[in-house]
Amino acid sequence: MSALAIETHQLTRRFGELVAVNRLDLAIPTGTIYGFLGPNGSGKSTCLRMLTGLLLPSDGRVTVLGLPVPKQAEALRRRVGYMTQRFSLYEDLSVRENLAFVARVQGLGGRQARQRIHELLTAHDLTALSGQLAGSLSGGQRQRLALAAAVVHRPDLLFLDEPTSAVDPENRRDFWEKLFDLCDSGTSIVVSTHYMDEAERCHGLAILENGIKRADGSPEQLMNNLGATVVEVLTSDLRELKRALLALPGVQSAAQLGLRLRVLVDGRIEQPVNWLREQLPARLSEAELILVRPSLEDVFVSCTGGHS
Ligand SMILES: Nc1ncnc2c1ncn2[C@@H]1O[C@H](COP(=O)(O)OP(=O)(O)OP(=O)(O)O)[C@@H](O)[C@H]1O
């Protein structure tokens, strides 16, 4: 298998005047979990749909698992799994019946299908729910079933479109444990999200805004390469201070977090804490200023202008 699960060159999709995905270059290694991080409407779903061969690009080239897409989309179909944003299983079939249906569609029959369904029910903690109608499952249980259904045929590559937007943090954590299990057993995974904590779990990610890739790399690389330093400011009257800070040309953003302001200062300014005190001596005389490690959210704010 090629060392790259996905390679795109100048991938573009237009809808009329709107450019939903704009000249996207990607090189996603096999055996990793890769994330698309971006706000609503940034082009994540459009991009995933083109990578699966379901949507034709307006321009550019796509190779998935070594196959050109959409030309070889049919050959690819058996090798990829796709969990869409909406629950796309049958609500009036039981958990087991849903998996049996997907197994049939994927060409598994008889004993092979029964064995695989048993395996999936166990691996995704669905055994006790196997007779329950899918429509009566909780959000977290639905996600587990949808994931099990997406991997019935043991795909080499799995696409997940905002898989945990409807589940609580604990279920989200469990869901990610399953993704790491799948990745460890050789499945490459591409996942779209607008959650920072999910993006931080990915081996690599691309930050999208208005269909454009603003940055990519591992979360650590992105945080290390942030073109800004982060200063937290503890003081009173944060709203006024925030306005004053944002008026300074060297300040990229200032966000209130409880009793603190998290301030991104242009990385070219060498002593950001001293610089801030020099700019606003009266306002900051009583304040505590601390230089802190950047987070992925800081990276996101810095490269998108902060419209999360
Ligand atoms: N079939 C379509 N026809 C017209 N415009 C579309 C179509 N599909 C997507 N778009 C537009 O393309 C842009 C990108 O949408 P897309 O669904 O890819 O974003 P997204 O990042 O997945 O957003 P979300 O997080 O809300 O799912 C949006 O402005 C959307 O309205």
ipTM of the complex model:
0.96
The reported pLDDT for the residue numbered 85 is 82
Residue 136 CA to residue 200 CA, distance in Å, equals 32
Closest CA to 303 of 217, 203, 204, 233: 217
Residue nearest to atom 17 of ligand 1 (CA): 45
Determine the average pLDDT of the residues in 291-306: 87
pLDDT for 125 beyond 70: yes
Residue 127 CA to residue 145 CA, distance in Å, equals 11
State the closest ligand 1 atom to the C-alpha of 192, by its place in the atom list counted from 1. Answer: 22
Tokens of 212: 């454009």
Encode pLDDT of 187-221 as tens digits.
Answer: 999 999 989 989 999 999 999 999 999 999 999 99
Tokens of 2: 């090629």
The reported pLDDT for the residue numbered 306 is 52
pLDDT for 1 beyond 60: no
Which amino acid makes up residue 7? E
Give distance in angstroms: CA of 104 to centre of ligand 1: 32
- Strand runs labelled E in the chain: 4-15, 18-29, 33-37, 59-64, 67-69, 80-83, 157-161, 188-193, 204-209, 212-217, 228-234, 251-257, 260-266, 288-292
Encode pLDDT of 274-285 as tens digits.
Answer: 999 999 999 999
Give distance in angstroms: CA of 87 to centre of ligand 1: 18
The reported pLDDT for the residue numbered 307 is 43
* More confident position, 170 or 276: 276
pLDDT for 65 beyond 90: yes
The reported pLDDT for the residue numbered 35 is 97
The reported pLDDT for the residue numbered 308 is 38
Residue nearest to atom 8 of ligand 1 (CA): 46
Residue 42 CA to residue 20 CA, distance in Å, equals 7
20 CB under 6 A from ligand 1?
A: yes
Determine the average pLDDT of the residues in 245-252: 95
State the closest ligand 1 atom to the C-alpha of 211, by its place in the atom list counted from 1. Answer: 14
Give distance in angstroms: CA of 161 to centre of ligand 1: 12
86 CB under 6 A from ligand 1?
A: no
Residue nearest to atom 16 of ligand 1 (CA): 43
Residue 278 CA to residue 284 CA, distance in Å, equals 9
46 CB under 6 A from ligand 1?
A: yes
pLDDT for 222 beyond 60: yes
State the closest ligand 1 atom to the C-alpha of 49, by its place in the atom list counted from 1. Answer: 18
The reported pLDDT for the residue numbered 88 is 81
pLDDT for 305 beyond 80: no
Asked which of 51-60, 71-80, 142-151, 262-271 is least confident by mean pLDDT, the reply is: 71-80
pLDDT for 2 beyond 60: no
pLDDT for 172 beyond 50: yes
* More confident position, 99 or 89: 99
- 254 φψ region: left (φ > 0), alpha (ψ -120 to 50), beta (else): beta
Determine the average pLDDT of the residues in 158-183: 91
The reported pLDDT for the residue numbered 68 is 95
* More confident position, 305 or 157: 157
44 CB under 6 A from ligand 1?
A: yes
* More confident position, 3 or 190: 190
Tokens of 21: 């995905």
Mean residue pLDDT of the chain comes to 93
Closest CA to 229 of 264, 257, 260, 275: 264
Give distance in angstroms: CA of 19 to centre of ligand 1: 10
Determine the average pLDDT of the residues in 217-231: 93
State the closest ligand 1 atom to the C-alpha of 38, by its place in the atom list counted from 1. Answer: 21
Tokens of 236: 């009173």
* More confident position, 60 or 225: 60
Residue 191 CA to residue 200 CA, distance in Å, equals 12
Encode pLDDT of 177-187 as tens digits.
Answer: 999 999 999 99
